[in-house]
């Protein structure tokens, strides 16, 4: 996916309500190569109007079973509504995709299709 | 009778956890089903088997601790799925950006603690994602 996007010079940057420390942990744990932004005060999430009040968060618990953290601590948190924006060189929003079911994300195939259509004329092979 | 109780308990837990395992495996593959049919089959099946196991054990006198843990865990995980699933609907926010309009500039911080200024995004193509955070 990353390579496919790189062919169109598209970088992925992701933002959540996680703190700098949590985002750093996430990056290491899941071997994430994209840049993660931390917005614990929900400043940017609110600025963009993608705030989901009272969402159930199943956070990584402190319980540790044979080295595996148990994700078993549900709590109510405010977090971002999963939203994908494609932004071009001029800072113009070229595509918006928002989910009405937080389990479902923008599918990779769909993202690629949009990137291809939007930046078709400038693909680098 | 004991064998039946334990078999039902294990089958119940197997059904519930099997369903969870299958569901979780769909996440990294980007194949989370909109309607999780397998969960709708495995979770109620597991719940019924676990309850049967508990019921039979109770009829036979006291419920062994092992059965309580086994069936209890199956019931907990089965119900937990339905609680999470019932919360799936995400309100659409009051999105402040529009298609073909400029993005909203901001200053933030990345996971290394470095400042991020979207003015530096000029000249770059960015797929900007809001996500729910670590779990």
Q: Tens digits of per-residue pLDDT, B107-123?
A: 999 999 999 999 999 99
Residues of B in contact with A74 (CB under 8 A): 83
Domain count, chain B: 1
Contact B99 A100 (CB under 8 A): no
Asked, for residue B114, whether it belongs to a domain, the answer is no
pLDDT bucket at B6, cuts 50 / 70 / 90: very high
Question: Residue B94 pLDDT more than 80?
Answer: yes
Asked, for residue B57, whether it belongs to a domain, the answer is yes
Task: Give the DSSP H/E element, type plus range, for residue B57.
Answer: helix B37-59
Contact A25 B134 (CB under 8 A): yes
CA distance B61 to chain A (A): 33
- Residues B46-73 have a mean pLDDT of 93
| Span B12-49, pLDDT tens digits | 999 999 999 999 888 777 788 888 999 999 999 999 99
Asked, for residue B38, whether it belongs to a domain, the answer is yes
CA distance B79 to chain A (A): 13
| Domain enclosing residue B20, as ranges | 2-86
Burial A68-102 (b: 16+ CB within 10 A, else e): eeeeeeeeeeebbbbbbbbbbeebebbbebbbeeb
Residues of A in contact with B126 (CB under 8 A): 10-13, 86-87
Asked, for residue B61, whether it belongs to a domain, the answer is yes
Asked, for residue B96, whether it belongs to a domain, the answer is no
- Residues A22-50 have a mean pLDDT of 92
Q: Percent of chain A, pLDDT > 90?
A: 37
Asked, for residue B98, whether it belongs to a domain, the answer is no
Asked, for residue B15, whether it belongs to a domain, the answer is yes
Q: How many CB atoms lie within 10 A of CB B88?
A: 15
pLDDT bucket at B126, cuts 50 / 70 / 90: very high
Residues of A in contact with B25 (CB under 8 A): none
Instruction: Say which of A27, A98, A99 has its CB closest to residue B95.
Output: A98
pLDDT bucket at B87, cuts 50 / 70 / 90: confident
| Confidence (pTM) | 0.74
From residue A2, alpha-carbon distances to A33, A111, A112 in Å are 9, 11, 10
Instruction: Say which of A5, A10, A49 has its CB closest to residue B95.
Output: A49
Would you list the domain boundaries of chain A?
2-122
- Residues A21-30 have a mean pLDDT of 90
User: How many whole angstroms separate alpha carbon B42 and alpha carbon A27?
Assistant: 33
A2-122: CATH class: alpha beta
Write down the residue that tokens 């700098």 correspond to: A20
CA distance A113 to chain B (A): 13
Lowest mean pLDDT among A22-26, A96-100, B41-45, B125-129: A96-100
């Amino acid at each position: 996916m990353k390579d496919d996007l790189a062919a169109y010079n598209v970088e992925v940057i992701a933002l959540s309500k996680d703190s700098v420390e949590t985002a750093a942990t996430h990056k290491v744990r899941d071997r994430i190569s994209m840049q993660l932004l931390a917005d614990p005060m929900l400043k940017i999430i609110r600025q963009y109007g993608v705030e989901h009040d009272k969402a159930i968060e199943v956070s990584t618990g402190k319980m540790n079973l044979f080295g595996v953290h148990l994700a078993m601590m549900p709590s109510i948190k405010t977090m971002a509504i999963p939203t994908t924006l494609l932004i071009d060189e001029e800072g113009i929003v070229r595509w918006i995709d928002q989910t009405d079911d937080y389990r479902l994300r923008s599918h990779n195939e769909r993202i690629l299709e949009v990137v291809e259509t939007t930046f078709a004329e400038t693909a680098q092979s | 009778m004991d064998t039946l109780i334990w078999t039902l308990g294990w089958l119940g837990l197997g059904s519930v956890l099997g369903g969870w395992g299958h569901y979780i495996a769909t996440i990294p593959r980007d194949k989370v089903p909109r309607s999780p049919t397998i969960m709708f089959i495995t979770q109620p099946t597991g719940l019924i088997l676990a309850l049967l196991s508990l019921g039979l054990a109770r009829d036979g006198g006291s419920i062994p601790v092992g059965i309580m843990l086994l069936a209890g865990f199956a019931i907990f995980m089965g119900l937990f799925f339905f609680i999470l699933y019932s919360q799936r609907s995400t309100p659409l926010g009051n999105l402040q950006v529009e298609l073909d309009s400029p993005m909203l500039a901001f200053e933030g911080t990345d996971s290394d603690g470095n400042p991020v200024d979207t003015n530096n995004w000029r000249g770059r193509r960015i797929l900007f994602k809001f996500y729910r955070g670590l779990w």
